[in-house]
Amino acid sequence: MSSEFKKLAGSFIAPSIIVAMMFAVKIYEVVAHISLADYGIFPRHVDGLRGIFFIPFLHADWEHLLSNAAPMLFCGAALFYFYREIAWKVLLIVYLSSGLWLWLGGRESFHIGASNIVYGLAAFLFLSGIIRKNTSLIAVSLLIVFLYGSMIWGLLPILQKVSWEGHLFGTFAGILCAIAFRKEGLQREKYEWEDEHDEENNELNNDTDEKSPKDSPLKIIYTYKKTEEENHGS
């Protein structure tokens, strides 16, 4: 088994566990004939704080669940594959910060679903690739636009039953992570001609330093010339 295959397979572990828990909760609701929506985020109510931790595992129905499961699996795997060094930090920050902001600024209603995390991961993957200017990461950014570009409509208060605030706060969290961690992980490739250019600049700077006035053997001699008045007076 090649190391590349191991890396690819390993990138699916965390998002697969999250998706499995999403399905497990929904199956439990169906079998027990109950709804756990009350465990979602209810903004500005103390009891609603617990929803920050439970929200990604609660879904209204199977359609809601499936619409979040696929992008969670894809975006999560992309995060752990291309940004393995910072993947857990990004995931946890998006998870907790978007939930907290939703509790502070959302409508007074129960908010459920993993879409706040999905939006956060998609925003991070898109913007991070653009910032880093890495060919592989830019390809991921373009793929995100192609697959989930229509998600932008979810940021607008169009449908009453859709938590557009969760989408918005998740997007903000992903953007902030992309900016905060822009110098960590995979960066832009440096081409040979750039290395040669840097070497030439270094050589030029060294030559300039060697020929600096401080080390120069040249001397400056000032000549004092008397004025006509001084000549008359002498």
- Domain membership flag for residue 67: yes
Q: Please state the rounded mean pLDDT for residues 51-63.
A: 96
Structural domain contains residue 220: no
Give DSSP secondary structure letters for 133-197.
Answer: T-HHHHHHHHHHHHHHGGGGGGGSS--TTS-HHHHHHHHHHHHHHHHHTTTSSS-----HHHHHH
Residue 208 lies in a domain: no
pLDDT tens track for 161-185: 889 999 999 999 999 999 999 988 6
Residue 209 resides in a domain: no
Please check whether residue 160 lies inside any domain of the structure: yes
Question: Residue 222: is its pLDDT beyond 60?
Answer: no
- Confidence tier at 124 by pLDDT (50, 70, 90): very high
Contact criterion met (CB below 8 Å) for 174 and 119: yes
State which amino acid sits at residue 141: S
> Residue 141 belongs to a domain with what CATH number?
1.20.1540.10
Amino acid (1-letter code) at residue 210: E
Mean pLDDT of the chain: 85
108 within some domain: yes
Q: What does the pLDDT look like over 79-108, one tens digit per residue?
A: 999 999 999 999 999 999 999 999 999 999
- The Cβ of residue 202 has, within 10 Å, a number of other Cβ atoms equal to 10
Report the pLDDT value the prediction gives residue 221, as an integer from 0 to 100: 52
Q: What confidence score (pLDDT) does residue 199 get? A: 58
pLDDT at residue number 208: 54
Overall domain count for the chain = 1
> What is the three-state SS of 71-94?
HHHHHHHHHHHHCCCCHHHHHHHH
Q: What is the mean pLDDT of residues 68-77?
A: 96
In a domain, 222, yes or no: no
With 80 as the cut, is the pLDDT of residue 233 above it?
A: no
Give me the pLDDT at residue 150, please. 86
Amino acid at 153: W
Tens of pLDDT, residue by residue over 179-206, are: 999 988 666 665 554 455 555 666 666 6
Is-contact 68 170, C-beta < 8 A? Answer: no
Domain assignment present for residue 188? The answer is no
Residue 25 has pLDDT above 50, yes or no: yes
Query: Which tokens go with 108?
Result: 């007074």
Percent of the chain residues topping a pLDDT of 70: 78
Dihedral through CA 32, CA 112, CA 37, CA 45, nearest 10?
A: 150
CA–CA gap between residue 98 and residue 168 (Å, rounded): 9
**pLDDT confidence tier of residue 137, bands split at 50, 70 and 90:** confident
- Say what the pTM is: 0.78
* Residue 192, both tokens: 């040979």
- The residue segments making up the domain with residue 136 are 3-180
